[in-house]
């Protein structure tokens, strides 16, 4: 470091120190900001003291044998003088103090590594507890969740005046007790789970108070012998529970609401009268106002239930006199409201009680307690809603039990609406009144809908002029008001959407369950076709407290959701057909990421949807596809050049709406692929498609992705060879076993090999090139006038230069035959009807003379000069020593030269074949003329593979896997020539199989059932096929008391047809080639 000139060293030192100090502060601040909160170690147990007294506890870890000995009274392990046990497995911790209301976390074993412990031994974790004023109770195991209890004998060494918490001592005076000690008590241990792993042990008395009111309640305890010294307990909040202190369970109990200016109830709450297990005793209490001018009462109900504690009391703790004097509590005291109103309507309601100052407003789903209502008198309850100002009050007499009744409401037009009133008597004098309606009609269609009961003369109540103009956001309350008419509902479109049209009522439908669809018609003026709106109906029964209500949702039947990156157009097929890349009238469109409701413009046409990419130039409408069943597939759209554009379509039924989702397919494999491994172009089209533009060409050694042009037509593809007069075959894309052969005509040229430069025959032998005749490319042609054979330059497709060789060796001339359509298979031709190659002379060639070639009719007598073969680069006839050649040697190879049959000079001199005698056959089209088509799976893609029948296995376009399979098949056939065996196994288990998973307890955990099992195995000489289907699969949770009994089950498909389409739950199809 170098110091700056002109500055004193002290300044620099001070500046550096200040900078370092500042830097340290920044570093510490950043460390505090970045450092996460320190995680506290997890403590698996906690003890809560709710006894009202101070207690001490100690943990005890023992074994099952020692626990049994301690419960049976046998002496356990003898302690040493220092108080520790001799056995290491029996450990007792030190005693810890817990004040009343406190929670103390604890654990049984110190933290350490598991390998240092006896982890193979079974441990029982127990608690030893001693409550102030009583003796220590026997140990309690806390390994299981539940309610446990122990009896505690009074501690004779402790005075009763010191019982309670050390903060507030309480003098307890017990009447009718003539000894100074406390009575024996029952101490309850409630072991519960908090979260997923923490156990909380709550120590309390057996007398509980649960507040079911919506306001806090105060509790007061006093002794009859000293009523001037009461004990006021903490307030019990709504929904909470409070355990009466252990030393105050025998005192008198009173209650009142907190902060309402009323006295405690006059009559105490006595629990000693309820003696039988599960018995419930209820009574009413009144709290009077403190002000004499206010005559308002607060009324509530008290229900006392004796829990299932045993009546047995041990004699070593309870003497005979104590058993008669002291009754041990084991009760739960419920504080309930007298009347509770619950609004189960989707709208706000106003209520009142006739003749009493009780009224109010209740929000949807909320409850209101009527504390001043007296259930010992008649209660006349009235309800009013928006647009329903009048009602017939409901009379609720004293002693009302559980029942359901109707309440009649009337709207401003005096139309009737029946409400369902369910009255539940929770205890004597405590009523809960649920106000509901039979049906909610929820309109999610976006259209104004008007409802009425079928065959009724007026619309349903609650519908007015504004409902004709726009959709109501709130559900419509509906009931069947006319008892004489059938319980069916009908609907129509509001008049405001088509003012000039006339909407008609649809066919009646039930509101009691299931789903369906209805067509709403609007009749147009003149001769215009009517409008149709398809509305889906989904009826769901209410659950829980809404069990008296059916939620009926009306939604559009079809929702088109565009999740692609294109702008899409939709139309019904009847309007999109023949439109090409233009849009018909009435089409709808969606932008990427948006959705649109779709209604069929015409119900009398086929309900098939078409789609088009609007942002792709010259894109033509797709074929029509069904949208009324769950499905997923690719849809194919073509442009004017025939290029395919794909979209993924997924149709799901949610409620009453079919959601049709369109997405891109760049990341998805195509459903089909056409692999043309042959050497000729292939033209394919879907079976039943008549439009010529949908015929697609696949060039040799190329592949093309494909999806159905018309998804509703059979899944079959028709194949032909382009321009070759081939046969036509149809391949089913669902059939992996069959292979078909496709034949096409393959004519030959008879070429002068010397005139073709660099030519190689199919055998691979090179032919010497001639620089002078490089581009001559001369082939045999026929003069139309003289029928003589001459040399002409090769012209592709010229019929007079085409020949075909028959099976008997005759060379038939194609140019002299009747022409046929190139894209249609030619009729079978006989050699007798064709002109064939022969010599012009009547007799055979002799004396080294040359005989011209010409066309003749087939003649058996001339078989020697009408039978030909290509041998060693020469064209020879049936007579030995004669070959086809040109006169004049090499100079005779010229355009228009006459071709003759003459002696073979190379046989005499054993020299190479002269150029004028070199004639070979050249195929018009490559390949053997026979193609093999088969369907194979390639992952999720079904591939239609076209190969040449004689295609070489080392073809660089063929699959390497197919080569190996073919080689393996050949080797297997060579090794097993007589092993042509077939095997078929079919197994059906209609009842299915059941599988139980049982642990070592033993305890059944799950039960899996598989019904309708069908196995079909077929072994052929060339393949093995396995078909497995399971109709139904269900896995049930067998644990007792579980909240989720079903782990796995099959959701049934719902269809708008009557018969639901139920396919197998599991289906497996596999094929293996040897």
| Distance from C-alpha of 1007 to C-alpha of 1031, rounded to nearest angstrom | 17
Overall average pLDDT of the 771-783 stretch: 77
- Which residues partner with 269 through β-bridges? 253
Q: Residue 63: is its pLDDT beyond 80?
A: no
Give the per-residue pLDDT at 651.
Answer: 94
Residue 567 pLDDT: 95
79-108: average pLDDT: 71
Which has the higher per-residue pLDDT, 154 or 492?
492
Digit-coded pLDDT (tens) for 554-580: 999 999 999 999 999 999 999 988 888
CA neighbor of 204 nearest in space, from 272, 107, 103, 282: 103
The residue count for the chain: 1074
160 close to 133: Cβ distance less than 8 angstroms = yes
3-state secondary structure of 906: helix
**339 or 8: which leads in pLDDT:** 339
Within a 10 A sphere around the Cβ of 359, how many other Cβ atoms?
11
For range 416-445, the mean pLDDT: 91
According to the model, what pLDDT value does residue 1007 have? 92
The span from the CA of 746 to the CA of 922, in Å, is: 10
Q: Is the pLDDT of residue 2 over 80?
A: no
Distance, CA of 362 to CA of 368 (rounded, Å): 7
285, 302 Cβ separation under 8 angstroms: yes
Q: How far apart are CA 887 and CA 889, in angstroms?
A: 6
For residue 768, pLDDT over 70 is answered with no
What does the mean pLDDT of the chain come to? 82
The C-alpha atoms of residue 778 and residue 756 are separated, in whole angstroms, by: 8
Q: What is the pLDDT of residues 409-428, one digit of tens each?
A: 999 999 999 999 999 988 88
pLDDT value of position 377: 87
Determine the Cα–Cα distance for residues 922 and 928; give it in Å rounded to an integer.
Answer: 12
Strand pairing report for 416-427 and 430-436: antiparallel
Using only the alpha carbons of the chain, give its radius of gyration: 49
Say if residue 686 is exposed, middle or buried (CB neighbours under 10 Å; 0-12, 13-18, 19+).
buried
167 — pLDDT class (breaks 50, 70, 90): very low
**Structural contact between residues 182 and 163, judged by C-beta atoms closer than 8 angstroms:** yes
Answer yes or no: are the C-beta atoms of 141 and 73 closer than 8 Å: no
- Per residue in 18-32, pLDDT tens? 444 455 555 555 555
745 burial type by CB count under 10 A (0-12 exposed, 13-18 middle, 19+ buried)? buried
| Helix/strand/coil for 1070 | strand
pLDDT in tens, 376-411: 888 899 999 998 999 999 998 888 888 899 999 999
Burial of 289 (0-12, 13-18, 19+ CB in 10 A): middle
Per-residue HEC secondary structure of 404-447 comes to EEEEEEECCCCCEEEEEEEEEEEECCEEEEEEECCEEEEECCCC
pLDDT in tens, 300-336: 999 999 998 887 777 666 665 555 556 788 999 999 9
Token match 């817990």: residue? Answer: 98
First to last CA, the chain: 82
Nearest CA to 436 out of 405, 412, 467 is that of: 405
User: What is the arrangement of strands in the sheet containing 588-590, beginning at the earlier edge strand?
Assistant: 588-590, 568-572, 609-613
Taking a C-beta distance cutoff of 8 angstroms, is the pair 662, 560 a contact? yes
* 974-980 mean pLDDT: 50
Contacts 24+ apart (CB under 8 A), 764-768: 765/873, 767/873, 767/918, 767/920
Average pLDDT of span 671-698: 91
Q: Which tokens is 167 given? A: 């903060």
- 508-536 pLDDT, tens digit per residue, is 999 987 788 898 999 888 778 888 898 99
Cross-strand pairs, 553: 442, 538
909 pLDDT tier (thresholds 50, 70, 90): low
Model confidence at 966: pLDDT above 80: no
Tally Cβ neighbours within 10 Å of residue 1044.
8
| Eight-state DSSP code of residue 625 | B
Tens digit of each residue's pLDDT (9 = 90 or more) over 815-824: 888 776 555 5
pLDDT of residue 249: 86
pLDDT at position 979 over 80: no
Residue 739 pLDDT level (bands cut at 50, 70, 90): confident
In this predicted model, what pLDDT tens digit does every residue of 617-646 receive, in sequence order? 999 999 999 998 999 999 999 998 889 999
Virtual torsion, Cα 57, 58, 59, 61, nearest 10 deg: -130
pLDDT one-digit tens code per residue, 986-1040: 999 988 999 999 988 888 899 999 999 999 998 887 788 899 999 999 999 988 8
Q: Give the percent of the chain with pLDDT over 70.
A: 81
CA distance 868 to 886: 17
Q: Are 579 and 587 in contact (CB under 8 A)?
A: no
pLDDT score at 528: 80
Three-class SS state of 1049 = coil
């Amino acid at each position: 470091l170098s110091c700056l000139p002109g500055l004193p060293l002290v300044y620099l030192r001070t500046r550096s120190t200040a900078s370092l100090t500042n830097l340290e502060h920044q570093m510490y601040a950043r460390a505090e900001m970045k450092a996460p909160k320190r995680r506290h170690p997890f403590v698996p147990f906690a003890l809560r003291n709710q006894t009202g007294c101070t207690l001490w506890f100690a943990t005890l870890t023992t074994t099952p044998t020692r626990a049994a000995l301690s419960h049976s009274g046998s002496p356990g392990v003898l302690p040493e003088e220092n108080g520790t046990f001799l056995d290491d497995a029996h450990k007792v911790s030190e005693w810890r103090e817990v004040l009343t209301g406190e929670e103390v976390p604890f654990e049984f074993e110190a933290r350490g590594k598991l390998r240092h412990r006896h982890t193979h031994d079974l441990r029982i974790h127990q608690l030893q507890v001693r409550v102030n004023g009583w003796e220590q109770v026997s140990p309690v195991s806390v390994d299981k969740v539940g309610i446990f209890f122990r009896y505690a004998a009074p501690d004779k060494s402790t005075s009763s005046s010191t019982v309670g918490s050390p903060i507030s001592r309480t003098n307890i005076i017990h009447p009718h007790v003539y000894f100074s000690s406390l009575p024996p008590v029952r101490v309850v241990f409630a072991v519960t789970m908090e979260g997923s792993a923490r156990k909380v042990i709550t120590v309390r008395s057996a007398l509980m108070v649960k507040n079911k009111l919506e306001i806090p309640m105060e509790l007061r305890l006093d002794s009859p012998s000293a009523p001037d010294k009461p004990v006021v307990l903490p307030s019990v909040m709504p929904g909470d529970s409070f355990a009466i202190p252990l030393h105050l369970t025998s005192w008198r109990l009173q209650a009142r609401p907190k902060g309402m200016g009323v006295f405690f109830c006059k009559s105490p709450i006595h629990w000693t009268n309820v003696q039988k297990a599960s018995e419930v005793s209820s009574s009413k209490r009144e709290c009077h106002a403190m002000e004499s001018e206010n005559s308002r009462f607060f009324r509530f109900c008290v229900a006392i239930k004796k829990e299932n504690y045993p009546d047995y009391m041990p004699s070593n703790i309870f003497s005979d006199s104590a058993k008669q004097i002291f009754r041990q509590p084991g009760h739960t005291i419920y504080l309930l409201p007298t009347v509770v109103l619950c609004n189960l309507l989707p709208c706000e309601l106003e209520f009142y009680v006739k003749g009493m100052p009780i009224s109010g407003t209740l929000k949807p789903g909320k409850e209101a307690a009527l504390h001043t209502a007296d259930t010992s008198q008649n209660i006349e309850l009235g309800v009013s809603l928006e647009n329903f100002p009048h009602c017939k009050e409901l009379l609720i007499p004293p002693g009302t039990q559980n029942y359901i009744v109707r309440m009649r409401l009337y709207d401003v037009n005096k139309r009737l609406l029946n409400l369902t009133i369910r009255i539940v008597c929770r205890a004597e004098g405590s009523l809960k009144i649920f106000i509901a309606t039979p049906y909610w009609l929820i309109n999610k269609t976006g259209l104004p809908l008007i409802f009425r009961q079928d065959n009724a003369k007026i619309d349903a109540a609650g519908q007015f002029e504004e409902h004709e103009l726009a959709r109501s956001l709130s559900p419509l309350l509906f009931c069947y008001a006319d008892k004489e008419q059938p319980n069916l509902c009908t609907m129509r479109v509001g008049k405001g959407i088509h003012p000039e049209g006339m909407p008609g009522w649809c066919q009646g439908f039930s509101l009691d369950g299931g789903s369906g669809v209805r067509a709403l018609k609007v009749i147009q003026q003149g001769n215009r076709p009517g409008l149709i709106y398809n509305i889906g109906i989904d009826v769901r029964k209410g659950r829980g407290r809404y069990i008296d209500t059916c939620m009926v949702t009306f939604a559009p039947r079809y929702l088109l959701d565009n999740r692609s990156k294109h702008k899409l157009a939709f139309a019904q097929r009847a309007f999109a057909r023949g439109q090409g890349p233009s849009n018909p009238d009435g089409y709808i469109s969606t932008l990427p990421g948006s959705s649109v409701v779709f209604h069929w413009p015409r119900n009398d046409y086929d309900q098939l949807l078409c789609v088009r990419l609007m942002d792709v130039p010259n894109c033509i409408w797709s074929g029509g596809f069904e949208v009324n069943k769950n499905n997923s597939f690719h849809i194919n759209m073509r442009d004017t050049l025939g290029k395919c554009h794909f979209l993924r379509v997924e149709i799901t039924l949610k409620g009453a709406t079919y959601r049709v989702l369109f997405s891109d397919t760049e990341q998805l494999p195509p459903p089909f692929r056409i692999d043309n491994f042959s050497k000729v172009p292939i033209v394919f089209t879907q079976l039943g498609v008549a439009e010529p533009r949908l015929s697609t060409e696949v060039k040799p050694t190329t592949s093309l992705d494909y999806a159905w042009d018309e998804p509703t037509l059979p899944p079959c593809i028709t194949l032909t060879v382009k321009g070759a007069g081939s046969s036509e075959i149809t391949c089913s894309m669902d059939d992996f076993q069959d292979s078909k052969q496709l034949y096409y005509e393959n004519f030959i040229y008879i070429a002068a090999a010397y005139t073709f430069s660099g030519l190689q025959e199919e055998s691979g032998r090179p032919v010497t090139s001639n620089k002078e005749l490089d581009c001559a490319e001369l082939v045999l042609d026929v003069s139309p006038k003289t029928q003589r054979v001459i040399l002409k330059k090769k012209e592709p497709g010229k019929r007079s230069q085409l020949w075909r060789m028959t099976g008997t060796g005759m060379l038939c001339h194609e140019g002299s035959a009747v022409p046929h359509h190139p894209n249609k298979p030619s009729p079978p031709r006989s050699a007798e009807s064709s002109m064939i190659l022969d010599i012009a002379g009547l007799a055979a060639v002799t004396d080294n003379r040359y005989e011209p070639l010409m066309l003749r009719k087939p003649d058996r007598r001339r078989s020697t000069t009408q039978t030909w073969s290509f041998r060693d680069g020469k064209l020879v006839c049936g007579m030995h020593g004669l070959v086809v050649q040109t006169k004049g040697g090499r100079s005779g190879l010229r355009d228009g030269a006459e071709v003759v049959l003459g002696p073979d000079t190379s046989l005499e001199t054993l020299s190479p074949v002269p150029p004028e005698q070199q004639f070979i056959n050249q195929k018009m089209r490559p390949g053997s003329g026979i193609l093999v088509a088969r369907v194979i799976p390639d992952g999720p893609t079904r591939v239609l593979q076209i190969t040449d029948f004689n295609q070489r296995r080392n073809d660089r376009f063929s699959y390497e896997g197919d080569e190996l399979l073919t080689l393996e098949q050949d080797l297997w056939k060579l090794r097993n020539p007589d092993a042509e065996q077939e095997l078929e196994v079919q197994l059906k288990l209609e009842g299915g199989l059941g599988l139980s998973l049982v642990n070592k307890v033993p305890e059944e955990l799950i039960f899996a059932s598989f019904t309708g099992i069908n196995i079909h195995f077929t072994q052929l000489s060339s393949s093995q096929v396995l078909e497995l289907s399971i109709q139904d699969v269900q896995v049930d949770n067998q644990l007792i008391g579980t909240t989720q009994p079903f782990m796995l089950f099959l959701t049934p498909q719902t269809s708008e047809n009557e018969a639901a389409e139920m396919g197998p739950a599991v289906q497996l199809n596999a094929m293996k080639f040897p």
